[in-house]
Amino acid sequence: MQATHNRPGLGLPLACLALVLLLAGRSALEPTGPAAGDPSLRLSATQPSLEVELSGWLLSDPRFSTASATETSTTETSGTGSNGGAGTSGASRPCRVPLQTAAGRSELLFNACPALQQGWRLTVSGRLRRPSSAPHPLLSSAAERLARQGIWSQMQVERWQVLSRPATPIADLRRRIARQLTAVGGPERGGLLAALVLGSAVVPLPADLREAFRVAGLSHALAASGFHLSVLLGAVLPLARRLPRLPRLTLAAGALALFLLLAGPQPSVVRAVLMGGGALLLLESGRRGRPVAILLCTVVAMLLLRPGWLADVGFQLSVGATAGLILTAGPLESWLKGCLGAALPEGWGTGRAATWLGGALAIPLAATAWTLPLQVLHFGVVPLYAVPANLLAAPLLSPLTLGAMALALVAVLLPAVLPVLVQPLLLLAQLLLLICQQISRLPMAQWQTGRPQPVLVLLLALGSLALLLPQLARRWRQLGAALITIAVTLHLAWLAADRMLLVHQGPRDLLVARHGGRAALVSSRSDGLSCHQARSLATGLGIRRYDWLLLLDPVASDGPTCWQDLAQLVQSTGEAGPPLLPGQTLSSEGLEASAVAVDSRALQLRVGRQRWLLLPDRQALWSWERSTPASWPANIWLGFRPRQGDQHSLADGNIERVWWSGNFASRRQTLPPGWRASGLSGSLQTG
Q: What is the pLDDT of residue 358?
A: 82
Using alpha carbons only, how large is the chain's radius of gyration in Å? 29
Q: Within its chain, how far is the Cα of 85 from the centroid?
A: 40
Distance CA 434, CA 209 (A): 11
Q: What is the pLDDT of residue 472?
A: 77
Length of the chain counted residue by residue:
687
Regions in the chain scoring below 70 on pLDDT: 1-31, 66-91, 289, 343-351, 556-559, 574-577, 628-632, 652-653, 665-670
Q: What is the pLDDT of residue 87?
A: 42
Q: What is the pLDDT of residue 11?
A: 54
> pLDDT tens digits for 293-326?
889 889 888 988 888 888 888 899 999 999 999 9
Distance CA 110, CA 100 (A): 16
Longest CA–CA span in the chain (Å) reads 94
Q: What is the pLDDT of residue 656?
A: 84
Q: What is the pLDDT of residue 81?
A: 60
Is residue 491 within 8 A of residue 377, CB to CB? The reply is no
The DSSP bridge partners found for residue 520 are: 513
Question: For residue 137, what is the DSSP state?
Answer: T
Q: What is the pLDDT of residue 26?
A: 57
What architecture is the 47-166 domain classified under in CATH? Beta Barrel (2.40)
Predicted TM-score (pTM) of the model is: 0.84
Residue type, 6: N
Q: Within its chain, how far is the Cα of 501 from the centroid?
A: 22
How many Cβ atoms are within 10 Å of 292's Cβ, its own excluded?
A: 18
Secondary structure of 557-613 in the HEC alphabet? CCCHHHHHHHECCEEECCCCCCCCCCCCEEEECCEEEEECCCCCCCEEEEECCEEEE
Q: What is the pLDDT of residue 500?
A: 95
> pLDDT tens digits for 127-151?
999 998 899 989 988 888 898 888 9
Q: What is the pLDDT of residue 501?
A: 95
Distance CA 122, CA 378 (A): 36
